Amino acid sequence: MNTNQLVHFFKAEAVKANKQTFPIYVQSFAHLWQYECGTLETIPPEIDLLITTRAIELGLISTQVAD
C-alpha cells in the first residue's frame, strides 16, 4: 500500500468514526504509517490536523486552558 492510499483510507474512516472507534483508527493508521515509512515524523500535516480536529469534535480532547 502506498502512502497516498493510506491517507485516503484514513480520511474516509476518520470522518465516520465515533468516540469509541476513532482511537482505534488512529492507532491502526499510525502503525501502518510507521511500517510503510519507518517513522511517524513524515505524517502529512493534513492528517495531524484531521486527528486533532476529530478528537476535539468527538470530545476526546479539550481546548480549555488550565488556570
DSSP assigned state of 61: S
Q: How far apart are CA 32 and CA 22, in angstroms?
A: 15
Cα separations in angstroms, 26 against 18, 20, 45, 52: 12, 11, 14, 11
pLDDT tens digits for range 7-64: 999 999 999 999 999 999 999 999 999 999 999 999 999 999 999 999 999 999 988 7
Interacting residues of 6 by C-beta distance below 8 A, sequence separation 6+? 29, 32, 33, 36
The predicted pLDDT at position 62 comes to: 85
Q: How far apart are CA 10 and CA 38, in angstroms?
A: 18
Question: The whole model's pTM is what?
Answer: 0.85
